[in-house]
Amino acid sequence: MTQYGKKILYLAVTILLLLPVVSCRSNSNNTHTYRPYSERRNRGGSSHDDSGISTTTDKKKPIPQSGHDLVSDEWAHLDIKLGRHDNKKLYKELKRWLGTPYSYAAHTCGEGTDCSGMVMEVYLEVYGIKVHRNSAKMLEENCKVIDLEDLREGDLVFFCTSGDGRVSHVGIYLKDNKFVHASSSRGVTVDDLRQNYYSTHFHAAARVKNR
């Protein structure tokens, strides 16, 4: 090979070796615009139930997890799956109360009840325990406060809904954050502690003494 030919070959090899470098540099010039972190956070909106209550989860409060499957729709259609350790008498009694319209100072299944009236009747029927007719007195005299994470089937959950810091609402805890209560707008129904309204107004978790 002549000296000229060697120079041509050397030049060709040099060009081939430089191609990947050029290619990489070209790719590095492709810029991507990223939104600030605050704009890239989950932008999912809040959902609402038929009463207009927001169902956004309040992540500031620890919520107990029991590992059971309980869906509000299934419970409403009386098609809930119960485990062998579930208190079937409690669920059977609460099913009777579902759909009972709200009526202040009443406590009759199928006709009308308020929150404490329903709890009072259910506890007497299922556990043979008589609790106070008033939710605030129920918490003060019939219960011992427990951690939210320790809630178990049949415990009570209390709320301050009137804005004055006083206990004014009570429900019976089931499992998987669900509880049964007498809603002033929907009657006896099942709701979730993670719904924004209940998370915001939650006051205490409690266990009835001697249960």
160 is catalytic: no
Question: In what order do the strands lie in the sheet containing 169-173?
Answer: 143-146, 202-208, 156-159, 169-173, 178-183, 187-192
Q: Looking at 107, 109, 143, 169, which residue is catalytic?
A: 169
Q: Looking at 115, 132, 160, 201, which residue is catalytic?
A: 115
68 is catalytic: no
Rounded CA Rg of the chain: 31
181 is catalytic: yes
Indicate the helix (H) or strand (E) that contains 157.
strand 156-159
Residue 134 CB-density burial (10 A; 0-12 exposed, 13-18 middle, 19+ buried):
middle
Token pair for 112: 């009308």
Task: Say how far apart CA 133 and CA 124 lie, in whole Å.
Answer: 12
Nearest Cα to 86, choosing from 66, 100, 109, 58?
Answer: 66
- Annotated catalytic residues are 115, 169, 181
